[in-house]
Structure 1
Amino acid sequence: MTDKTKEQNPLSLFEFWPGSVFYTPIVLYWIIMGLRYRDLSVATAANPRIETGGLCGESKSSILDMAGPIAREAIAPYRVFYNGPTALQEVLDAMDDMGTTFPVVVKPDIGCNGTGVRLIADRAMLEHVLPLFPTGVALLVQELITAPIEAGIFYIRHPHEEKGRITSLTYKEAPLLIGDGTSTLHELVMQDPRMSQVPQLYLPRLEGQERSVLTKGEKFPLVFAGNHCKGSIFRDGRNDITEALTKRINAIMTDIPDFHFGRIDVKATSVEALRRGEGFSIIEINGVGSEAIHIWDRRTTLWEAYRTQFYHYRQTFLIGAAKKKEGWKSSGAFSMLFSWLKQRRLLSSYPTND
């Protein structure tokens, strides 16, 4: 495939393949590596202080809570609460404690792929959204970071290394509909070269507004959560990995005890500031289950995607094995399965994300 063809294609060959198809070689690779190390869960020891190393079922807040003063300064303020009769007041009190006002973000403490992430504009919306979550489930309220650039930064540091490295940088773009004064929202989706190929991701988000017409130039955001499977567009930004950014990320991640492998999701004021290692806030830290998401750039080939996946999973097995030699334990296959089932059950109970 030529570079010109890549630019013309709105989707890559495999971008929206069913997970059961795309991930089958990766699952087989995981099994082979597990047999080699005589432990199918050895990779979970890569971040041994986190449940399953962050593969599945882990609490997002438990990772953030481990942050030392350097890392804490970079993390967007958040608080944890449990949904129930007093949740509304708990959120309002937490906002006062953080010194923030609406809008805020509410999201599950245990989640995946942005499921259940909601942008809360005001108290009335908060009162509407909270009952959509199960009673007793742990949720986070987090200050909304309005910086325009969202990115995923993949970080790896082996136990014997003082300094880690950034292996992936990906920009996340929220798709927008821009009105022409005549077309309905449904028509705008179907006229878009990319959206029209995966309308099942976007049309349900119109929520009964399919026939609404935007004025010329008016913008209608379709996705808030920066997740590819929910409709966000990913752009490979590895050319913007700099020594300054690596130094800053390393200082932050070494301030989280025994964290060696995962992706840091950030909001930044600009690409230039990010390149300088400045002007960004961390909104989430993901462990062993996270991906180097530049593979979802439409220009990525299938071979490049698998090569990236195999490389990263090999690193987590190497790190996990090294941590086990230090005396840490892996989660065990049954515990890993239990955590996955717990996460799957919770995901099915959350409302659709924004």
Structure 2
Amino acid sequence: MSVTSLPVALDAPGLQASSARRKSPVSFFEFWPGWLFYAPVAVFWILKSIRYGSLTLPTLANPRINAGGICGESKNDILGLAGPLARQWIAPYTPLTTSGHNDGNDLTLALAAMARAGLSFPVVAKPDMSCNGVGVRVVNNEAQLAAYLAAFPRATAMQLQALITHEGEAGIFYIRHPGEAAGRITSVTLKFPPSVTGDGKRSVRELIAADQRLNAVSNLLLPQLGAKAGAIPAEGESVRLVFVGNHCRGSTFKDGLDIVTPALTARIDEIVQDMQEVYFSRLDLRYESLEALREGRNFQIIEFNGSGSEATHIWDPEMTLRAAYATQFFHYGESFKIGAAVRQRGLRPSGLRKLASLWRHQKKLMAAYPAND
């Protein structure tokens, strides 16, 4: 049977053709060290800071979000900005804070919160403050939820969210300047979490090795799979290797800006305009089909990201380095422009000391979260 890292490839027009043209399963800069890839971005940021007189001006790009969402933002607080229209498009969730002592009461509190929110198993358990999918796990029953809660840091906020089973995953970047009547979509990333299809003979590890893309990112996949890598899937059985559709976990990202239609733009615009003063955000969502997404229907938003958002289509294996930097410079340049417009209202951006404190706190929490799927 076939091996594929693009489980819904047939639903993405042009994807098979572009795959045939691909010279390499990864772009040459796709897995550069962060300090190397982001060095030009840091220089750009500094130049913009000099021009606008503030190194932290983008913290005002979303004035209702802590530090604008550059770091240390609360997922629950951001979703709490949603009005009645936006809430219809957000996957149901409930906030939760673990108790100060691991006394077993967290499960009772969690089940009560789920009941109030109308949630049932399976649900996605995730930290309230995190990034790159750290600490995110699907829990299928009370026993798994109890284990997750027991491993979670004490007196720390988290979230339980309905598991959306739509196969399609996407990140849609939205920008609107204060005072503009309508915003625009500036980036679409179609995400394809890695998976293999069994032939009843080869192990997951062997199936990974047989796929050009998966083999190229096997160093990201195999350590997380552990003993599961030795399992032999049945013929035709599809095995998803990770849950979180994250680039740093081995997912394939494709530039999907060509799927944008007036209907999709209008839908995203009305949703974000019902979020209190969210001007610069990437919406992570799951969708039923590309046809439905183009028509602005049958999708559920998992979360909104703030000023620290990245237009993740730059990690498309066919992306050029020049285009990737042009994208980065455009988006972060827009965050400075929006911050400048908000500053005219008399608001002040967060200081460097606050950002450093938020970053240290987030890193400390992320090191303590349970292992993610």
Correspondence for 2:76: 61
**Alignment partner of 2:171 out of 152, 168, 184:** 152
Preserved contact between residue 174 and residue 221 of structure 1 (Cα < 8 Å): yes
Cα gap change, 1:150 to 1:123, in 2 (>3 Å): same
Q: CA RMSD in A?
A: 1.4
Gaps of at least 5 residues in structure 2 are 1-17
Alpha-carbon separation, structure 2, partners of 1:49 and 1:195? 40
SS of 2:88 mapped into structure 1:
helix
Task: Deviation per CA, 1:184-236: give whole Å up to 9, x if none.
Answer: 22222222211212222110222312322112111211111121112221111
Preserved contact between residue 81 and residue 87 of structure 1 (Cα < 8 Å): no
**Alignment partner of 1:255 out of 274, 282, 303:** 274
Correspondence for 2:327: 308
SS of 1:299 mapped into structure 2:
coil
**Alignment partner of 1:15 out of 14, 30, 38:** 30
Give the letter for the 1:32 counterpart: L
Task: Deviation per CA, 1:42-74: give whole Å up to 9, x if none.
Answer: 111110111110000000111110111111111
Correspondence for 2:43: 28
Preserved contact between residue 48 and residue 329 of structure 1 (Cα < 8 Å): no
Preserved contact between residue 6 and residue 298 of structure 1 (Cα < 8 Å): no
Alpha-carbon separation, structure 1, partners of 2:42 and 2:151? 33
2:185 pairs with 1:170: no
Give the letter for the 2:32 counterpart: W
Correspondence for 1:80: 95
Give the letter for the 1:40 counterpart: L
Give the letter for the 1:12 counterpart: S
Alpha-carbon separation, structure 2, partners of 1:225 and 1:290? 17
SS of 2:212 mapped into structure 1:
coil
Q: TM-score, normalised by structure 2?
A: 0.91
Q: TM-score, normalised by structure 1?
A: 0.96
Alpha-carbon separation, structure 1, partners of 2:233 and 2:282? 37
- Higher mean alpha-carbon deviation, 238-247 vs 175-184, is at 175-184
Preserved contact between residue 169 and residue 236 of structure 1 (Cα < 8 Å): yes
2:238 pairs with 1:223: no
Correspondence for 2:7: none
Correspondence for 2:147: 128
SS of 1:344 mapped into structure 2:
helix
Alpha-carbon separation, structure 2, partners of 1:349 and 1:268? 32
Task: Deviation per CA, 1:94-130: give whole Å up to 9, x if none.
Answer: 2212222111000000011111110111112112222
**Alignment partner of 1:278 out of 279, 289, 297:** 297
Correspondence for 1:71: 86
Superposed counterparts of 1:175-214, under 5 Å: 175-214=194-233
Task: Deviation per CA, 1:252-295: give whole Å up to 9, x if none.
Answer: 11111211101011111111111111111111000000111111
2:243 pairs with 1:243: no
SS of 1:224 mapped into structure 2:
coil
SS of 1:235 mapped into structure 2:
strand
Alpha-carbon separation, structure 1, partners of 2:349 and 2:92? 31
Alpha-carbon separation, structure 2, partners of 1:6 and 1:314? 32
2:116 pairs with 1:97: yes
2:337 pairs with 1:318: yes
Deviation at 1:77, TM superposition (A): 1.0
Cα gap change, 1:258 to 1:92, in 2 (>3 Å): same
Task: Deviation per CA, 1:141-195: give whole Å up to 9, x if none.
Answer: 0011111211110000011211000001111111112112221222222222112
Give the letter for the 2:247 counterpart: H
Alpha-carbon separation, structure 2, partners of 1:299 and 1:282? 27
Preserved contact between residue 263 and residue 296 of structure 2 (Cα < 8 Å): yes
Give the letter for the 2:107 counterpart: L
Give the letter for the 1:175 counterpart: P
- Higher mean alpha-carbon deviation, 126-135 vs 247-256, is at 126-135
Correspondence for 1:352: 371
Preserved contact between residue 244 and residue 276 of structure 1 (Cα < 8 Å): yes
